[in-house]
Structure 1
Amino acid sequence: MVVVVGLGNPGRKYEHTRHNVGFDVVDVLAQRNNISLARLKCKAVVGEGAIAGRRCALALPQTFMNLSGESVVELVNWYKPERDELIVCYDDVDLPEGKLRFRASGSAGTHNGMRSVIYLLGRDDFPRVRVGIGRPPEGWELADYVLTGYRTAELRKTMFDAYVAAAEAVEHLIREGPDAARSFVASFNG
């Protein structure tokens, strides 16, 4: 079974902030595929259904970002996805706002949520889709920046378009594999 995890922080206070990009991508994926995110399981809000004809579980960990690995380990132990069937979506400050990056495996970089996932899973050989949130303006602390929303309607639209594209990249990955996801992301980024 494919397990798609969006990283973020639980609670209304964090909805639609830069650090909750993963939640927003999984929400779009759920809407596009008529999957209801309604059950609490494995320290996550979970929904099960089908994407591209394959059984899938979508999950939003409720452990707060820096402890995301606790939920992901429970999800992996429960659903038992193959190595390439665990897909993680999250924000990336090293990408410009609204740009995407797909990787079939790799390190966590500077992302503490992914560090937790990789450390507790004991491996980094699973695909991930990252959405750029850009660097903080001069004088801003990174921790403050990632917990803010998007101030202009234009930027909100740019980011929503990126969430939709990230969801499409996940669908390509599930349906056709990593090369198709990589190609779609490259095309989206221009």
Structure 2
Amino acid sequence: MLLIAGLGNPGSKYCMNRHNIGFMALDSLADSYMDNNWRKKFQGQIVEGKIEGETVLMIKPQTFMNNSGNSICEVVKFYKIPSDQVIVFHDEIDLAPGKVRIKSGGGHAGHNGLRSIISHIGPDFLRIRMGIGHPGSKDLVHNYVLGNFSKQDQNGWLVDLLTGVANGFPYLVDGNHAQFLNKINLELQTRPKTANVPKRADASSADKAKKTDGIFSKLSKFFG
């Protein structure tokens, strides 16, 4: 069994925060593969299904970010899931918006959600680091991560990123990290670029507009 966790804060107040991109990723995955049949358990919202023949359990901890490990630890103990079978999607301020990197093990780098998880199950889980950019000053980080994505972000690189994550997910489950990242990069590269990257989708790009409307109308329903 694989445990896929997305980090964020529960409630409509936080639903479009940059800090909640982990929740957004899981909602996109659940919509694509599991019909979003979320239920409450393990201090979180969970959904379960089969991907590439592998049993996959997804969880969005409802404990607030700083206590994410409480929820994830309950699942790990109940199902006896090894730490190296845990994958965590989270926001990363040290990566540019839309950039994704995969890291196995290591420290928390100041991320309180990761700090909590490490304190409960150790560091040997896989992290999907989803770039949201940095505000430029350490003093601005708190308000930045708890601020909402701009409409330009929502209609631009963010929807492409979430689409790419969903498209590449079977490769992630199969352990093919390079192909997972490739699917994300391909999705991001299909959007017309200008000097000010990332940009809102071109009004003439009917396919992108349709995709944007589809994903975010669904996500807004999930977020409440």
Cα deviation for residue 36 of structure 1 reads 2.6
Conservation of the 8 A alpha-carbon contact between 1:36 and 1:48: no
* Cα separation, 2, equivalents of 1:106 and 1:164: 28
1:43-89: per-residue Cα shift (whole Å, max 9, x none)? 00011111222111110000000111111101111222233221110
* Cα separation, 1, equivalents of 2:72 and 2:34: 23
Amino acid at match of 2:161: A
Cα deviation for residue 166 of structure 1 reads 3.1
SS in 2 for 1:141: helix
Amino acid at match of 2:152: A
Structure 1 position 71 matched with structure 2 position 80:
no
Provide the alpha-carbon RMSD of the alignment. Answer: 2.1
Select which of 172, 182, 185 maps to 2:181: 185
Conservation of the 8 A alpha-carbon contact between 1:97 and 1:134: yes
TM-score when normalising by structure 1: 0.88
* Cα separation, 2, equivalents of 1:136 and 1:67: 24
Name 2:172's counterpart in structure 1. 173
Aligned-pair identity in percent equals 37
Segment of structure 1 superposing worse, 146-155 or 63-72: 146-155
* Structure 2: gaps spanning 5 or more residues: 190-224
SS in 2 for 1:3: strand
Conservation of the 8 A alpha-carbon contact between 2:4 and 2:57: yes
Residues 50 and 68 of structure 1: CA distance in aligned 2, closer, same or farther (over 3 Å): same
Amino acid at match of 1:143: H
Segment of structure 1 superposing worse, 141-150 or 166-175: 166-175
* Structure 1: gaps spanning 5 or more residues: none
Q: Which runs of 4+ in 1 moved over 4 A?
A: 137-140
Name 1:10's counterpart in structure 2. 10
Cα deviation for residue 38 of structure 1 reads 2.1
1:86-139: per-residue Cα shift (whole Å, max 9, x none)? 111000000001110111222211211001100111x21111111100001569
The structure number with the bigger radius of gyration is: 2
TM-score when normalising by structure 2: 0.76
Residues 78 and 66 of structure 1: CA distance in aligned 2, closer, same or farther (over 3 Å): same
1:130-182: per-residue Cα shift (whole Å, max 9, x none)? 1100001569621111011122335542012112333445431212x1xx213
Higher relative CO (CA 8 A, sep ≥ 6), structure 1 or 2?
Answer: 1
Conservation of the 8 A alpha-carbon contact between 2:39 and 2:47: yes
SS in 2 for 1:63: coil
* Cα separation, 1, equivalents of 2:105 and 2:166: 18
